[in-house]
Structure 1
Amino acid sequence: MRIGEFGEFELIRRIGTFLPGPPGDVVVGIGDDVAVLNVSGPEYLLATCDAQVENIHFIRAATTPYQLGRKIVAINVSDIAACGGRPKWALVSLALTPDTGVDFVDGLYAGMQEEIHAAGASIVGGNLSGIRGEIVIDLSLLGTVSPECLILRNGARSGDLVLVTGTLGESRAGLELILRPELEVEQEAGDRVRARHLTPGARLREGRILAATGSIHAMADVSDGVLGDLGHICRASEVQAEIWPESLPISPECLRVAEVARCDAVQWALSGGEDYELLFTADPRRVPEIRGRLEAETGTSCHVIGRITGKGEAVLVRSREGMSSDYGRGPAGWDHFRAG
């Protein structure tokens, strides 16, 4: 069997079977977006890494090196944010062709430095390598979190409501405009959704505030799509969830692009991915307090989009008419080896 048939997440599980059990100082190991390590101090150490591969994650003609630099930092910071942590130190590895312009590297580091500084962290090292094909930018990020503020995927409980910050689907709408430049939409709408795709922002402050409430049971960032990332929470927590499509926060700009592209904005919101919003579960009795505090302290809204219904691992999309679809069998969001 080839990995294209196997899929990304089955491959991760298979890799895990070849590794010994984690030592006692590993709080969370392989299988999550962030490793959590007990380094015998007052805080846990967080470790994550992510790569941007040319013609898989980005098209060089459609983005600037500066935008790419910002994005590679933001997507890693987003993983730290979803744990309630603070980013600290980054290592960057570049695999470049010999004909890559020095100005590309200059722009890339200008973007990375701006984004890492805004997150309160620093780039402290890395590696350079030549490559014969598409370029690769890989970033590893270390951070910290107090044990009492750590939020993982595996704490969702039956009866929890499912919430998400901000809006969904705009990154996918931006990608649609990049891939189909002949589409004509109002400049303001086009600029907004393209920016959400090319230079996403991590909900770092929001993640720390949510963690500080002590009321969040499970959390992940929306990188693979709401269906995919809620599926990760459900599998880790051994629970089943339902999403209410009419409650998904979709902006007028996303709706407009979908209309012009003759696509379904709800589907973009469910499985488009790369929105980097925070997806979390909480006791319904605490939701008004959580929403009020988040908006008061950050200006960011959050929306109830579903609930945890009981034991299981499936994610259902349930409309007001009672119709449902089972998305629990296999990935419903981005999968590197099944995509396309």
Structure 2
Amino acid sequence: MTLKDIGEFGFIEKISRGCFIRSQNILKAIGDDAAAFTTKADEVILITTDMLVERVHFLRNTTSGFNLGYKSLAVNLSDIAAMGGTAKEAFVSIAIPEACPLEYLEDLYRGIKSLAAEFDINILGGDTTGSKTDLIINISVVGAVPEKEILYRHTAQPGDIIFSTGCLGDSRAGLQLILNKTVADSEELKALFNAHILPWPYLEEGRFLAHQGGVHAAIDVSDGLSSDLGHIIRESNAGARLYAEKIPVSKNLQKFCTRFDADPLEYALGGGEDYMLLCTISPDKADSVARDYLKKFGQPIYPIGEITDSGETELVFPDGRIKSVAPSGWNHFKIPASRLLFVH
């Protein structure tokens, strides 16, 4: 069955079921010319958007609709998390080629709704239109954060300790499995595969960090540690020193790199789409924030270096060697098309 069989409004009626989760502050959801909702007076509104284009970001014939929908929303939620916010409302716009089966589209919306329900997020509207050849998905998310707690990229300070909320490089390994058509024949490879296709947005963790005193700056690791840390130091007019032995690498990635003769540190520095949070914390608050984070989430937050005033990023090895680090992660306009597949 295709869209021709039910028409645009029949499709909207189908996908609208299960979109409205939370009635608080909502005046009008799907069904009018615009959605309408109110906000609290002391909150700053956050708005983020991402567009995903078939044959650029994904290959539809090798990607389940559910995984595509889930990740399409997850990348937006991660942006809200990086600024310490709470995600509130989502808007989904989609351009659909004629040959795209209705079942695939319904599965895509199941993926979106599944993740939205995890975080109490309404889907309040969007737009549907036709496309000549490719499926195009654009999701916008509206969030909110108390004005005094918002986290930016440009506010890191020399002396701050740099932390990551999790291990880095797993998603890149999962992508390599997909690109090389490698069968995930072990629990370790399955975990890496899932790290790439079903990333978890760190919304609760970002909100926790924003509420702590002494957390100065943050960003999500979407382009890779070296690139995203580079955004912080460039915007903050600062530098960074990373310690190679402190960069967290999972046992799954270590086993992958042993099996396929790869360097886990290279994967951690240059891999994108991990969606961990990087944050910088005042040195006098770092230990208490790390302790409270572990107590609340049952997982550590990893200190990996510090902010300097050097204007560049350097990597310190255990033997004392120091290497300058250049951004090596994701860049839409530089990376070959063969690298751009991101879901399976």
Q: What TM-score do you get using the length of structure 2 for normalisation?
A: 0.83
Which residues of 2 match residues 167-316 of structure 1 at below 5 A? 167-182=167-182, 186-312=185-311, 314-316=312-314
The answer as to whether partners of 2:160 and 2:282 remain within 8 angstroms in 1 is yes
Taking the aligned partners of 1:298 and 1:175, their CA distance within structure 2 comes to 27
Taking the aligned partners of 1:269 and 1:55, their CA distance within structure 2 comes to 26
Aligned to 1:335: 331
Taking the aligned partners of 2:47 and 2:317, their CA distance within structure 1 comes to 38
2:87 paired with 1:91: no
Post-superposition shift, 1:99? 0.2
Deviates more, 1:251-260 or 1:205-214: 251-260
Aligned to 2:138: 138
The answer as to whether partners of 2:85 and 2:144 remain within 8 angstroms in 1 is yes
Counterpart of 1:326 in structure 2: which amino acid? S
Match of 2:315 among 299, 305, 317: 317
Aligned to 1:79: 79
Taking the aligned partners of 2:63 and 2:267, their CA distance within structure 1 comes to 21
Deviates more, 1:202-211 or 1:173-182: 173-182
> Deviations 1:24-68 (Å, cap 9, x if unpaired)?
xxxxxxxxxxxxxxx892111100001222233223243311111
The aligned length equals 298
> Deviations 1:314-339 (Å, cap 9, x if unpaired)?
222221233333335xx432110011
The answer as to whether partners of 1:171 and 1:272 remain within 8 angstroms in 2 is yes
Displaced runs of 4 or more, over 4 A: none
Taking the aligned partners of 2:63 and 2:146, their CA distance within structure 1 comes to 37
1:113–1:336 Cα change, 3 Å: same
Deviates more, 1:213-222 or 1:285-294: 285-294
Q: What TM-score do you get using the length of structure 1 for normalisation?
A: 0.84
Taking the aligned partners of 1:205 and 1:226, their CA distance within structure 2 comes to 21
> Deviations 1:254-307 (Å, cap 9, x if unpaired)?
111122222211111111110000101112222221111112112232111111
SS of match in other structure, 1:130: strand
The answer as to whether partners of 2:95 and 2:129 remain within 8 angstroms in 1 is yes
Taking the aligned partners of 2:162 and 2:189, their CA distance within structure 1 comes to 29
Taking the aligned partners of 1:334 and 1:241, their CA distance within structure 2 comes to 20
> Deviations 1:151-194 (Å, cap 9, x if unpaired)?
11111111111110111111011111111124x66521111111
SS of match in other structure, 2:74: helix
Counterpart of 1:324 in structure 2: which amino acid? I
Counterpart of 2:229 in structure 1: which amino acid? L
The answer as to whether partners of 2:184 and 2:190 remain within 8 angstroms in 1 is no
Taking the aligned partners of 1:57 and 1:191, their CA distance within structure 2 comes to 21
Aligned to 2:112: 112
Counterpart of 2:333 in structure 1: which amino acid? F
SS of match in other structure, 1:284: coil
Deviates more, 1:89-98 or 1:128-137: 128-137
Aligned to 1:69: 69
The answer as to whether partners of 1:222 and 1:278 remain within 8 angstroms in 2 is yes
The answer as to whether partners of 1:54 and 1:134 remain within 8 angstroms in 2 is yes
1:187–1:227 Cα change, 3 Å: same
Taking the aligned partners of 2:299 and 2:48, their CA distance within structure 1 comes to 25
> Once superposed, what is the RMSD of the aligned Cα atoms?
1.6
Aligned to 2:22: none
SS of match in other structure, 1:273: coil
1:111–1:301 Cα change, 3 Å: same
Taking the aligned partners of 1:124 and 1:211, their CA distance within structure 2 comes to 27
> Deviations 1:120-158 (Å, cap 9, x if unpaired)?
211111111222233221101111110111111111111
> Deviations 1:100-136 (Å, cap 9, x if unpaired)?
0001110011110111121221111111122223322
Counterpart of 2:282 in structure 1: which amino acid? D
Query: Higher Cα Rg: structure 1 or 2?
Result: 2
Post-superposition shift, 1:218? 0.4
Post-superposition shift, 1:238? 0.4
Taking the aligned partners of 1:157 and 1:295, their CA distance within structure 2 comes to 24
Taking the aligned partners of 2:330 and 2:108, their CA distance within structure 1 comes to 25
